[in-house]
Amino acid sequence: MSRLLLNCDIGESFGNWTMGLDAEVMPFIDCANVACGFHAGDPSIMRKTVSLALKHGVKIGAHPAYQDLQGFGRRSMNYTPQEIQDLLHYQIGALEGICRAQGGRVSYVKPHGAMYNDMMANPAQLRAVIQAVAAYGDLPLMVLAMRDNSAAQALADEFGVSLWFEAFADRAYDSRGHLVSRQLPGAVHHDAETIVNQAVTLSRGEALTASDGSALVLQANTLCVHGDNTSSVAAVQRIRQALTPA
């Protein structure tokens, strides 16, 4: 099996409102996608999340989004390419400052929610995101692993940006390798056994079954997991055990 880095969206609490079991899931992951305040998180939550990641030796990634706290960053918004770049630089820079204050650094970028989905569906938006990452510095960009990654790779090569291709243990895929919309039944797997089995299948480079019944092989570097509740943390722990050589 390939060594898939486990990444998790994290630091999504806000003020006195708590979301996710960050302390419980952090020991089992490799990469923490830290919310940067536009869809979730705030300066104090960011500081606490960075401190927790550094304590466990976990890579810190910027998890920027559209400016959409009410919609949790899951609503598409009509930004210009320059505005997309401005949003990314603002959020990456904020997290970088918090990291530096604690002796850490931002190690990669993974856009959140609608920004992530939109860039994978719209080449012009993906170009804007890649340009923003390239202009900021030498940071890898996490993108969706699909049946055919050649277009994304060509854009990244144009700007000298490294890509980390991401797969999901708990999501259903269509035949192209896009995630099935959360609005459709069966889009999100909730059964722990199903999630662990999908993680192992991906790590072995074997085919998943797409929503239309076709075989789908994804070449991934990293696997997205979640720590939203006790059962999801338990699933992450099982995935970590399943993917760790004896």
Instruction: Identify the structural domains of the chain with CATH numbers, from first to last.
Output: 5-168+221-227 (3.20.20.370)
Q: What is the pLDDT of residue 226?
A: 87
Q: Name residue 53's amino acid.
A: A
- pTM of the complete model: 0.94
Q: Nearest Cα to 30, choosing from 202, 242, 232, 240? A: 240
Helix (H) or strand (E) holding 100: helix 81-101
Helix (H) or strand (E) holding 61: strand 59-63
Distance CA 64, CA 57 (A): 22
Q: What is the pLDDT of residue 181?
A: 87
Distance CA 22, CA 134 (A): 30
Distance CA 98, CA 51 (A): 9
Helix (H) or strand (E) holding 166: strand 163-168
Distance CA 215, CA 42 (A): 41
The β-bridge partners of 33 are 9, 61
Q: What is the pLDDT of residue 190?
A: 86
Those residues with Cβ within 8 angstroms of residue 122's Cβ, 6 or more apart along the chain or in another chain? none
Those residues with Cβ within 8 angstroms of residue 51's Cβ, 6 or more apart along the chain or in another chain? 102
Q: What is the pLDDT of residue 2?
A: 58
- Residue with tokens 């996608």, as numbered in its chain: 33
Helix (H) or strand (E) holding 188: none
Q: Which residues of the chain have pLDDT under 50?
A: 1
Q: What is the pLDDT of residue 134?
A: 98
State CA 181 to chain mean position distance: 16
Distance CA 220, CA 168 (A): 10
Q: Nearest Cα to 86, choosing from 120, 50, 132? A: 132
Q: Nearest Cα to 71, choosing from 43, 45, 36, 39? A: 39
**Residue 173, SS3?**
strand
Q: What is the pLDDT of residue 1?
A: 46
Neighbours of 35 (CB within 10 A): 29
Q: What is the pLDDT of residue 157?
A: 98
